[in-house]
Amino acid sequence: MRRICLSRMVGGVVAILMLTIVSSPAVANLKERIDYWRSNYAELTGADDPRAERAHEIFKRIVDTAGKQPGVVPRLFIIKRDPLNVSLPIAIPDGWVILSKGTLDLCYREPHLGEDRLAFVLAHEIAHQLKGDFWHMHFFQALEASKINNAEQRQSLQEIRRIIMATDEIWAKELQADERGIIYAAMAGFNTSAIVTEDDRINFFREWVETLDPQRISQAYQSPSHPEPQHRAAAIKARLRQVLDKAEIFDLGLRYYQVGDYSKAVRAFEHFLEFFHSREVYHNLAASHHQLALRYYRQAQPDALPFKLTVGIDPTTRARGITLRGFPAERRGPMALFHEHIDKAIEFYKTAISLDSEYALSFNNLGCALIVKGPEGAFEAIATLQKAHKMQPDAPDILNNLGVAFYLANLPQQAHTYLQRARERDGRYDAPLFNLGKIAHGAQRHAAARRYWRDYLRLDAVSSWAELLRGQDEHLPAPVVRAKIVSRQAEHVMGITVAAFEDEIPQRWGQPRGRHRILLEEKPLTVTRYPQGITTFSQEEEIVMILALEEYRGKSAMGIAIGSSEEAVLDQYRIPSRTLDMTQGESWVYDDYGISFQIRNGKVVSWLLF
């Protein structure tokens, strides 16, 4: 949120820009490279301040959401002191964002809002990076040049005057970075109401400007044409509602994907694309079509034993893939729909890759989509997955998918090598064992297949995949006795279950903090946020999903609370139906219970009832 104080082009801006006044223009240019900052400022590490370590984690989440420019990978460098006593978030052209300790202090003045505010600050700077917007560097160089000699001084002072007079243009750039920052932070799962609220109860902009506008400097460049901080906050508030409504649609698409309603997920992501184009949205749209394609193929070929692939959504989902051979010549019913959706998935994955040629997730998913096209897509799948493998050489899911692609290309030795590597990289990853057993079974090596599948069942004894294996080999061990399934109605949040009506919500929930409607189909969806960390999603006043967030202090029907360990979830709910590795954590979906837990750093941070 550099110069988030473009408040008067005064103090805050001048103070930050004066940081580059040095002895020569050549030295000034050095500030555009990370070497200067490393040489002149001590780095603040996680060992010095835990907030610094958290800042790097938040930065990664934002970058994962926002994407990257070709050849530029955004990175973060945090310095221990504030130059000229001014908190410094600033993006420099070589891809780095420089943050100072003062920014952490400001964001964490209210500790419970710290991470959300820091996410927006970092997202604002990443937005400048992605736009190639470094207008402040011209100001830096002009200030420095003004100190050299009279002729150059006159010229540089004219440049300074031109930049100051162009405040409206610069302010517009800052507002655009604000808007993008809000979108990126919201898409990464942060609470953007920590920045500014419609009732002005929270106004982070005002606090920011006060910090960046030291009184000793603030009179330097005053002008009535320069926007005051309250004007900036007002502009953001006017745009914030629209932005957050749209960001809510993206989140809704993820929720629909999470509960397996892929058709609605497609509609949500398509709607969001009308507002905001990014690799992530195209990828998620592709993944939704991908899952629809697999669903239709299963309807057409219910008895097929598929390969087990890892198909990811961004946030990633470890969903079940399938391998096809010998399509019917005619496209009818489910098979026609399969082709329609898999072709759209391939198209949108390629679009996501065109927006970020280093997006390994889309390369991986595209490879999986090409695999399910059958042997004719095997070699293109290999080439695509090898690109993903080059980016992430130790990723077990990519190694697994490569193994399947090589097998379909009639290269069994390479297939076996990659599947074994996937198995070695992660002993808890079950897909390679499933696939090695399938290959051995197809080669009539039944004893070997049984060994692989027994090992698989030690990791997954109860899922539909385990049932498929037992249907192939009657000598495999019987399933373990599952814990008694708690009925869907038993899962509740403060006494309210899915399928309840809004007028049944008790007064102890408190007055809603916000309510708005999203129109994706004939029946609009109403999203309502309550003060105890609860959000409901309802249609025609009937609640269809309930989200319990980090502030919620209740427990699930099986006794899981915010902060419970993932081991506790496994102990109570067993193996999840689906697992989604998301930018804001990992989701474990339990279709039998109608609940999905969000896991971060091994702990439950929220859950969704559906």
Q: Which residue has the tokens 């049932």?
A: 467
Q: Are 119 and 57 in contact (CB under 8 A)?
A: no
Instruction: Assign 579 to helix, strand or coil.
Output: strand
Count of domains forming the chain: 3
- The per-residue pLDDT of the chain, averaged, comes to 79
What is the rounded radius of gyration, in angstroms, for the C-alpha atoms of the chain?
27
Whether residues 216 and 328 fall in one domain: no
The helix or strand, by DSSP H or E, that contains position 14, with its residue range, turns out to be helix 11-17
Maximum alpha-carbon separation in the chain: 92
Q: What pLDDT digit, counting tens, does each position of 50-65 carry? A: 999 999 999 998 888 8
- Residue 543 maps to a domain: yes
- DSSP class of residue 507 equals G
Q: Which pLDDT does position 32 carry in this prediction? A: 80
Stretch among 8-12, 223-227, 451-455 having the lowest mean pLDDT: 8-12
More confidently predicted of 22 and 420: 420
Q: How confident is the model at residue 488 (pLDDT cuts 50, 70, 90)?
A: very low
Q: Which pair of tokens denotes residue 157?
A: 């002072």
Task: State yes or no: pLDDT of 332 exceeds 60.
Answer: no
Region for 429 from its dihedrals, namely left if φ exceeds 0, alpha if ψ lies in -120 to 50, beta otherwise: beta
Whether residues 91 and 224 fall in one domain: yes
What CATH number is attached to the domain comprising 536? 3.40.33.10
Whether residues 207 and 166 fall in one domain: yes
Q: Which pair of tokens denotes residue 83?
A: 């130059």
Q: Are 487 and 456 in contact (CB under 8 A)?
A: no
Task: Supply the range of the domain harboring residue 325.
Answer: 251-472
What residues contact residue 121 under an 8 Å CB cut-off, 6+ apart? 1, 4, 89, 99, 103, 107, 181
What CATH number is attached to the domain comprising 323? 1.25.40.10
Q: Which pLDDT does position 167 carry in this prediction? A: 56
Task: State yes or no: pLDDT of 522 exceeds 70.
Answer: yes
Whether residues 45 and 191 fall in one domain: yes
Q: What pLDDT digit, counting tens, does each position of 231-280 carry? A: 655 665 666 566 766 778 888 888 888 888 899 999 999 999 888 888 88
Task: State yes or no: pLDDT of 12 exceeds 80.
Answer: no
The CA-based dihedral angle spanning residues 205, 210, 212, 218, taken in that order and rounded to the nearest 10 degrees: 130
Stretch among 287-301, 325-339, 581-595 having the lowest mean pLDDT: 325-339
Instruction: Give the best-scoring range by mean pLDDT among 17-31, 351-365, 462-476, 567-581.
Output: 351-365
Q: What pLDDT digit, counting tens, does each position of 428-485 carry? A: 889 999 999 999 999 999 999 999 999 999 988 877 788 888 888 888 887 755 444 4
Whether residues 175 and 35 fall in one domain: yes
The helix or strand, by DSSP H or E, that contains position 538, with its residue range, turns out to be strand 534-539
Q: Which pLDDT does position 152 carry in this prediction? A: 52
Q: Which pLDDT does position 304 carry in this prediction? A: 76
Q: How confident is the model at residue 202 (pLDDT cuts 50, 70, 90)?
A: low
Q: How confident is the model at residue 213 (pLDDT cuts 50, 70, 90)?
A: very low
For the whole model, what pTM was predicted? Answer: 0.73
Q: Is the peptide bond before 506 cis (omega within 30 degrees of 0)?
A: no
Task: State yes or no: pLDDT of 100 exceeds 80.
Answer: yes
- Residue 479 maps to a domain: no
Number of C-beta neighbours around residue 227 at 10 A: 20
Task: State yes or no: pLDDT of 145 exceeds 80.
Answer: no
Q: Which pLDDT does position 14 carry in this prediction? A: 38
Q: Which pLDDT does position 509 carry in this prediction? A: 94
Give the separation between CA 32 and CA 144, rounded to whole angstroms. Answer: 14
Task: State yes or no: pLDDT of 25 exceeds 80.
Answer: no
Show which of 409, 440, 472 is a domain's final residue. Answer: 472
Sign of the four-CA dihedral 80, 76, 169, 30? positive
Q: How confident is the model at residue 194 (pLDDT cuts 50, 70, 90)?
A: confident
Q: Which pLDDT does position 246 carry in this prediction? A: 78
- Residue 354 maps to a domain: yes
Mean per-residue pLDDT, 153-161: 52
Whether residues 203 and 286 fall in one domain: no
Task: State yes or no: pLDDT of 526 exceeds 50.
Answer: yes
Q: Which pLDDT does position 464 carry in this prediction? A: 77
Whether residues 394 and 434 fall in one domain: yes
Whether residues 242 and 296 fall in one domain: no
Q: How confident is the model at residue 228 (pLDDT cuts 50, 70, 90)?
A: low
Show which of 196, 225, 247 is a domain's final residue. Answer: 247
Q: How confident is the model at residue 324 (pLDDT cuts 50, 70, 90)?
A: very low
Whether residues 155 and 283 fall in one domain: no
Give the separation between CA 594 and CA 497, rounded to whole angstroms. Answer: 10
Give the separation between CA 362 and CA 366, rounded to whole angstroms. Answer: 6
Q: Which pLDDT does position 169 carry in this prediction? A: 65
Whether residues 337 and 454 fall in one domain: yes
